[in-house]
Structure 1
Amino acid sequence: MGEKLDHENEKEISNLEKAYIGDSISLEEAEPENSKIEAVRLVVPLTDDPTLIVMTFRFWVLVTFFSIMGAATEQYYFFRAAKGNFSIYFVNLASYGMGTFMARVLPTTKWTIGGHTFSFNPGPFNIKEHTLIGVGVSAAAGSAYAMYTLSVMDLMLQHRIDALGSMILIITTQCLGYGMAGTLRKYLVYPAEMVWWPNLVQVVFYHAMHNTDEFKNKKMIRGWSYMKYFWIFCGGMFLYQFIPQLFAPMLVYFDWICWFKPFDYNYWALFSSMSRGGVGILSLTFDWSQIGGDNMWMPLSTQLLRYGGIILSYWIIFPYIWLNNVYDAKIFGYALTPSLYFMNGTAFKINSVLNTDFTLNEEKYAAGPKVTMTPMYALIFLYSFIALGSCISHIVCFHGADMWKTWKSAIHSTDEDIHQKMMKVYPEVPQMWYAILYVVMLALSMVAVEVYELQLPWYGLLFAAAIAWILSLPIGAMTAITGTGPGLNVITQLTCGFLFPGKVIANMTFKCYGYMAMWQCHRLLEDLKLGVYMKVPPRAMFVAQIWGASIGAVFNYIVMIIIIDNKREFLDGTRPDPTGLWTGVSPQVYWGSGLIYGALGPAKMFGKDSQYHFIYWGFLIGAVLPIIQWGLSKKFPSVKWSALNITIIAGGMSAYPGGLVIGVVCGLVVCVIWQGWLFKYHRNWWSKYTFILSAALDTGSAFTGLFLFLFLQGGLHPKLTFDMPSWFMNPISPKGDNAPYLGVNRCGAFEHKWQSGMLEK
């Protein structure tokens, strides 16, 4: 009997060794104690090797290299209508290959300097080192929010802050929230209930790559290895993207319905999707950067709700507004634009009513005609308010009881999370580190707002920081527990609009500090939780995050300056880009909201005398709808009312500020095939290929965009510019010398010489 039990115990330990990835597993780790969260129990191993070195020479080289690449790529796409991204999957895969290669070729010689011994190659490339690279790069691989403020000031106000002031603004807005994270980690990282759900995907990905049995021996189609499969499809997409991005740009906006009536103004507004043209009903795109790999793995319900919101807003509501000329929609000339206009349709130029310090001259403004915006842009604010109100209401109604229960358990629980217990072998980051970082960043922030003419007084900065402090804890708890939470961009702009009316730069700066302090705080907390799951030393996590944010700030700024200097006339609206790709839509939208909330103020734009005074009802509508759903769920419990998430629908309805509304049909096709058919009927194939294929396609597409900008569009030097000759799939010549029949630009008639559909006066 005893021998049988011993045999069963040996089998159990063997099974655990196969299930969990790591070096050796102790009998203590085989005990039943585990996380109280089921998903974490299934995904996160109870293994650790504290002897692994994480901050190696390889780490510093790779995190710097990929941080520069990611910051440059994301900033490049910031100014383009055709959005792309720098895939973190590419970073994980490429850094794995490069890290293992460096581990094979670097010398293993040990060097001693000042009593400290180090080596360029301390051993095999390990999973913690790999995780730390991903954390650092994720902090860098984005366009810092301060780039909105800096680019808008440069493009719209012709006011460029010097390099030192710009760097202070970027780094302080990126790092102020990091200091807050130190205080909040006790409540938002240590408890098991604070899952931070996106981390579980990363945990699976890292462990799969470093598991010899699951990764190296896993064969794909034609017997290819995992890495070979990635690089082949990545290279294929890199080559393919030259077709829509360079040779045949019509494939980016394939507005096929427009061809039936290319000289009809209504067709242009409804069916064109090019560069502030129209809303692109049934438009197609063959540009992968417009479709995106997330359609292959994001939950089908989420995607259907988002696309449903887009269709409701742009394919149903907008045609009614346009064809019936509601709020004089046609008089403004464009279907979708963040620009402001006088009531007669003439474009409003804010510079004519600004003082020398860029504040609003009330007398000049009052002496002129009334200023307004297009109906669709006004509705965007309504939808945004609905999204914010419904987000909070939905969480309270459908998750409130569970959240309150788990929150109290997290605060008062004496049972420490098993993963947090395992982290006690590593020195924690002293609270003083975070305190010093916060004080330094706050002091530099005051320097930025007081010295560099940002219009925001020091006490306004403190008020923005206070908003971030007050809301970071509850919203952080919502995000960590439920996976979703509202942002502060709308609230901060609205608050500053009432506090400092007539100051557009102050409004943008207030929003930048208030919104980003909370966002960056939550980002660091999420990474700290990933460190807990992966057993990465907390101090190494802290350093990697700060290093990545700093590198990203520098190269965000460098790329911004290069692009603005080369593409200014396209980005500021002086001249339309013939390709329709360089529109500066992101800074233009940011500038539009800055004018509305800052220069003119919410009282002028949405006050009782405004035709859009109904906008504020969005908060109430958003708050009430989930309550109605909750009541219906009690009356009809068999129906899953919580699945009809108003926040996601409203987010789809306000899709335009994030870019042009294109790729809806193709995105729907991809998500239905991958999530509706493959996932349901061929789940093994889906689980084997989807994530790696998505990463490969997104990465190849991002590389094409960066290559074109650097070597064919004057990114490195103005002489490195290549203009594709005009032909059927490239109907607009940059020199303007193409034949008129080629100038039927997807849907817009040549030189806008319309034959029908114009506003009848």
Structure 2
Amino acid sequence: MTSFSDEDSKKDLAESVDDRTDATSTENLKSQGNSDIALEVLHAGDDPSLNALTFRTWSIGVGLGAFGAIVNTMFHFRPRILDISQVLLALAAYILGIFMEKCTPKSGFIGYWFNPHPFNSKEHTAIIIIASSASQVPIAIQVIAVQKLYYNNAPSTALSLLIVLSTQCLGYGFAGILRRAVVYPAKMVWPMLLPVNSLLEVLHQEREKPSHRRRIMYWVFTAILLWQFLPEYIMPILSGVSVFCLANQSSTIFTTIFGGSNRNEGLGLLSLGLDWRFITSQPLWYPLQTLTNNLIGYIICIALFAAVYYGNAWRAQDFPFLSQLLYSGNSTSSNFILHGQKGAVDEQGLPYFTGTFAISLFTNSLYITSTIVHLLLWNWPDIRKAWDFARPQRLRKLVTLSFWTSNPEVVEHDEVVNNPHYQFMRAYKEGPNWWYAAVFITSTIIGLVCIYTANTTLPWYGFLISILLAAILCPFFGAQAALTGYQGKVQPLMHLLGGLIHPGSPTANLYFTLFGHASITHALNMTRSLKLGQYAKLPPRITFVAQLLGTLLGSVISHAVMTAITADQRSVLLDPPSNTAVVWSAARPQHLRALATAFGDHGLSLFSLARRPLPRYALIPLGLLLGPLLTLPAFFLSRLFPSHSTITRSLNTPLVAASAGVLATLPSTSAMPAYFAVGFASQFWLRRYRPGWFARHNYVVAAAVEAGAQVCGVLVTLLLRGGLGGWAEVPMPGWWGNNVGGNFDRCPAAGDAAAGLGMVRDAGGGL
């Protein structure tokens, strides 16, 4: 087995990053494989003497976490959504850490306790984990907001807070089991972590001397920051330049096909979006295989949406082209659904989805089951480690005290033995199994108590079924995120199954979906943090504590902010004034309420395959049965024609299916052509023809792009868009580049086509 001494580690740390070309296997990079990309672009060295737990760690981590939780939750209820990302938190943490290092005395009592050594990468990583886990708005917050606004049956403050904490922590128990499968092996890359880990390298390992990577990062960050003021504020037409709409500003057909600068406008075909909020840094770190399959799905999506709408399937032309709400059968109003008017269904018929959103739910069903079959066929050796605990000899160990009190057994399979990042982590104690078990058991007990005392109408067996489903699905979606970088949506599946198991109860549907969906989401959050810690050589026990601390902090703060907003702004959220600028918006609760109504109130009538004739949206559950069939042809072709297996193996049908409905929910479809252009320029051209430059700079540039766009978004939103509340908005005067009151790309408004969910996002584009 390969061993790494402290001397080897320190020598590795002393090597210049700019000399990495000599150590980088250009042939490996040119091969376009992704299994060893982290070994090529990140150092595997470690300095065990670095201390991660200092006053700086706790103070900055808690402070940034509180800030992120307040801002993200507050903007959850704004029409202009602003997300504080992990990269932005990492940049802020570095500035604050260096400030505290320079401004705090280094000697005496103060120096010993508050500034014992220079700000280091392990402190920085722990801060990032605390702050990012606190900044994530709990999924339960949306459910409780729906109850407060529309059902008037919200649980008490104490119970709702316990529900938030339970759903946040349930998945962490699954993460303890997933470690062997999706954290330890080298091929489980988690591509989304490469930019932030590259940023940590540049900021710390190259801190003491001039670095070409550092200069490039600063230049890119500054350029993106300055550029973003154009599409964000001064010249919004740059977020979607459509030659077709500029040539014909009277055709609504052009709007639906070529428009896309505004939310729910159109498909954005052949548009040029130059707004990095919507392009994002994602195409710079998505593997080429993921990008290629997403491109195939994107092309299919355009064809499907156009065919459904202009073919008038499900009466598509009677409703907006793009929207995520429900609509009545004889009008385009969704008020009767949102406000629960009794007898409305008898008068107006069963509600409708827009045709495009129905197709997106169908493709999501295809994605769910094709993912399971795809990973069973192609990656069974990888994911089976997640179920090693179920082997008879391991089950017998579950009843012994030593299993729960000891560290997890040392994993010796080849993919872990050959992972230098994991081998360095062997110097630190793993979090014992009982930590994860205790969190899971405690969260389960709290959840069971809450579903009855809070009158959720979800029975105990529904609760357990949702948790069991999450446990089954976690290894598949964890492996998919780790291998491809794509983390898909399981929420529609949980809504569908919840509606069929508990028909006629939207509240039960909300909670069934909440416990299942949140458990998967937070299990992947914990495993992703463990992988972040592995790359940064942060001891796993510190990672666990940091993640849990951030989760508890963020849950309390997000709950308090949500409670205040839904109480103080209730009338505005339920009935926004039409004659003034919209400051508060219930768009997200409305969307969740629409899903709960469709699947909870009318699940059997709209989706049950047992009904005859088949209900209106039988295609959506049918997608669960058709999904596996998508994967089988490529698998069997690879067996029949092994010489061409590279092509068939590269076809990832789950990713194609997921992208075949993606345009229904994107904030700006005009960004997609630029998105793919950036991705292929990075992951194909640079990686193949400039592999040395790619290894040194690509992921640093990705971090700089994201940070620059985020900083500009924060400045514009808080200072110019009135995001600070009492700070007056400074509107940009209308001119040709700023089409005030209309679509930014000057496509004509297509009736109600933009009326679905009137949100403008500052982040969160991409696939």
TM-score by length of 2: 0.78
The answer to whether 1:618 aligns with 2:620 is no
* SS of alignment partner, residue 643 of structure 2: coil
- C-alpha contact 1:136 1:547 (8 A) present in aligned 2: yes
Aligned equivalent of 1:68: 66
AA aligned to 2:511 is T
AA aligned to 2:370 is S
d(CA) in 1 for partners of 2:580, 2:293: 34
The alpha-carbon distance between structure 1 residues 712 and 104, as it changes in their structure 2 partners (threshold 3 A), is: closer
Aligned equivalent of 1:643: 650
* SS of alignment partner, residue 258 of structure 1: helix
1:25-44, aligned counterparts within 5 Å?
A: none
Aligned equivalent of 1:442: 444
The alpha-carbon distance between structure 1 residues 686 and 169, as it changes in their structure 2 partners (threshold 3 A), is: same
AA aligned to 1:627 is L
After TM superposition, give the deviation of residue 446 of structure 1 in Å.
4.2
Q: Please say which of residues 74-83 and 497-506 is displaced more in the overlay.
A: 74-83
* SS of alignment partner, residue 381 of structure 1: helix
Aligned equivalent of 1:707: 715
Q: Deviations over 1:91-122 (max 9, x none)?
A: 4444334424423332235659xxxx961112
Aligned equivalent of 1:497: 499
The alpha-carbon distance between structure 1 residues 43 and 677, as it changes in their structure 2 partners (threshold 3 A), is: closer
AA aligned to 2:201 is A
Aligned equivalent of 1:140: 134
d(CA) in 2 for partners of 1:475, 1:374: 28
Aligned equivalent of 1:325: 312
d(CA) in 1 for partners of 2:264, 2:216: 39
The alpha-carbon distance between structure 1 residues 605 and 399, as it changes in their structure 2 partners (threshold 3 A), is: closer
The alpha-carbon distance between structure 1 residues 167 and 255, as it changes in their structure 2 partners (threshold 3 A), is: farther
After TM superposition, give the deviation of residue 571 of structure 1 in Å.
7.0
The alpha-carbon distance between structure 1 residues 155 and 58, as it changes in their structure 2 partners (threshold 3 A), is: same
Aligned equivalent of 2:401: none
d(CA) in 2 for partners of 1:317, 1:206: 40
Aligned equivalent of 1:131: 125
Q: Give 1 or 2 for the bigger CA radius of gyration.
A: 1
Q: Deviations over 1:712-751 (max 9, x none)?
A: 3333334522333333333335xxxxxxxx8998223598
d(CA) in 1 for partners of 2:666, 2:579: 19
d(CA) in 1 for partners of 2:292, 2:79: 23
- C-alpha contact 1:732 1:745 (8 A) present in aligned 2: no
Correspondent of 2:735 among 727, 731, 734: 727
1:325-724, aligned counterparts within 5 Å?
A: 325-332=312-319, 334-351=320-337, 354=340, 365-366=345-346, 368-400=348-380, 404=384, 416=412, 426=428, 429-446=431-448, 448-472=450-474, 476=478, 488-532=490-534, 534-557=536-559, 586-605=588-607, 607=609, 608-639=613-644, 640-655=647-662, 656-718=664-726, 720-724=728-732
d(CA) in 2 for partners of 1:386, 1:635: 25
The alpha-carbon distance between structure 1 residues 296 and 52, as it changes in their structure 2 partners (threshold 3 A), is: closer
1:45-60, aligned counterparts within 5 Å?
A: 48-60=46-58
RMSD (Å), alpha carbons: 4.3
Q: Please say which of residues 132-141 and 473-482 is displaced more in the overlay.
A: 473-482
- C-alpha contact 1:73 1:706 (8 A) present in aligned 2: no
AA aligned to 1:57 is F
AA aligned to 1:628 is P
After TM superposition, give the deviation of residue 204 of structure 1 in Å.
5.7
Q: Deviations over 1:199-229 (max 9, x none)?
A: 87379627733764x5543533xxxx71x55
Aligned equivalent of 2:221: 234
- C-alpha contact 2:456 2:507 (8 A) present in aligned 1: yes
Q: Please say which of residues 653-662 and 197-206 is displaced more in the overlay.
A: 197-206
- C-alpha contact 1:386 1:622 (8 A) present in aligned 2: yes
The alpha-carbon distance between structure 1 residues 163 and 643, as it changes in their structure 2 partners (threshold 3 A), is: same
The alpha-carbon distance between structure 1 residues 727 and 43, as it changes in their structure 2 partners (threshold 3 A), is: closer
Correspondent of 1:283 among 271, 291, 295: 271
After TM superposition, give the deviation of residue 497 of structure 1 in Å.
0.7
After TM superposition, give the deviation of residue 667 of structure 1 in Å.
1.5
d(CA) in 2 for partners of 1:452, 1:596: 23
d(CA) in 2 for partners of 1:699, 1:40: 21
Aligned-residue sequence identity (percent) comes to: 27
After TM superposition, give the deviation of residue 291 of structure 1 in Å.
0.9
After TM superposition, give the deviation of residue 702 of structure 1 in Å.
1.6
* SS of alignment partner, residue 119 of structure 1: helix
d(CA) in 2 for partners of 1:59, 1:633: 51
- C-alpha contact 1:269 1:279 (8 A) present in aligned 2: yes
The answer to whether 1:168 aligns with 2:181 is no
d(CA) in 1 for partners of 2:555, 2:522: 14
Structure 1: which 5+ runs fail to align? 1-11, 23-36, 356-360, 734-741, 754-761
Aligned equivalent of 2:248: 261
d(CA) in 2 for partners of 1:150, 1:87: 24
AA aligned to 1:281 is L
Aligned equivalent of 2:747: 747
Structure 2: which 5+ runs fail to align? 16-34, 395-408, 754-767
The alpha-carbon distance between structure 1 residues 254 and 447, as it changes in their structure 2 partners (threshold 3 A), is: farther
After TM superposition, give the deviation of residue 386 of structure 1 in Å.
1.0
After TM superposition, give the deviation of residue 59 of structure 1 in Å.
0.6
Aligned equivalent of 1:25: none
AA aligned to 2:101 is A
After TM superposition, give the deviation of residue 648 of structure 1 in Å.
1.3
Q: Deviations over 1:546-589 (max 9, x none)?
A: 12123333454566578778998997685789999997665444
After TM superposition, give the deviation of residue 236 of structure 1 in Å.
4.0
Q: Deviations over 1:260-319 (max 9, x none)?
A: 3333332333233233333232233232101112223322332232133223212x2222
The answer to whether 1:303 aligns with 2:300 is no
Aligned equivalent of 1:208: 201
Aligned equivalent of 2:94: 96
d(CA) in 2 for partners of 1:588, 1:751: 21
d(CA) in 1 for partners of 2:680, 2:426: 46
* SS of alignment partner, residue 717 of structure 1: coil
Q: Of the two structures, which has the highest relative contact order with CA contacts closer than 8 Å and spacing of 6 or more?
A: 2
Correspondent of 2:116 among 113, 122, 128: 122
d(CA) in 2 for partners of 1:674, 1:425: 36
- C-alpha contact 2:278 2:667 (8 A) present in aligned 1: no
- C-alpha contact 1:171 1:553 (8 A) present in aligned 2: yes
* SS of alignment partner, residue 669 of structure 2: coil
d(CA) in 2 for partners of 1:667, 1:526: 24
- C-alpha contact 2:257 2:269 (8 A) present in aligned 1: yes
The alpha-carbon distance between structure 1 residues 319 and 186, as it changes in their structure 2 partners (threshold 3 A), is: closer
- C-alpha contact 1:338 1:588 (8 A) present in aligned 2: no
Aligned equivalent of 2:209: 217
- C-alpha contact 1:253 1:746 (8 A) present in aligned 2: no
- C-alpha contact 2:329 2:348 (8 A) present in aligned 1: no
- C-alpha contact 1:341 1:348 (8 A) present in aligned 2: yes
AA aligned to 1:219 is S
TM-score by length of 1: 0.79
AA aligned to 1:467 is L
- C-alpha contact 2:191 2:482 (8 A) present in aligned 1: no
The answer to whether 1:19 aligns with 2:12 is yes
d(CA) in 1 for partners of 2:14, 2:677: 37
- C-alpha contact 1:169 1:445 (8 A) present in aligned 2: yes
d(CA) in 2 for partners of 1:409, 1:438: 16
Q: Please say which of residues 453-462 and 652-661 is displaced more in the overlay.
A: 453-462
- C-alpha contact 2:383 2:475 (8 A) present in aligned 1: no
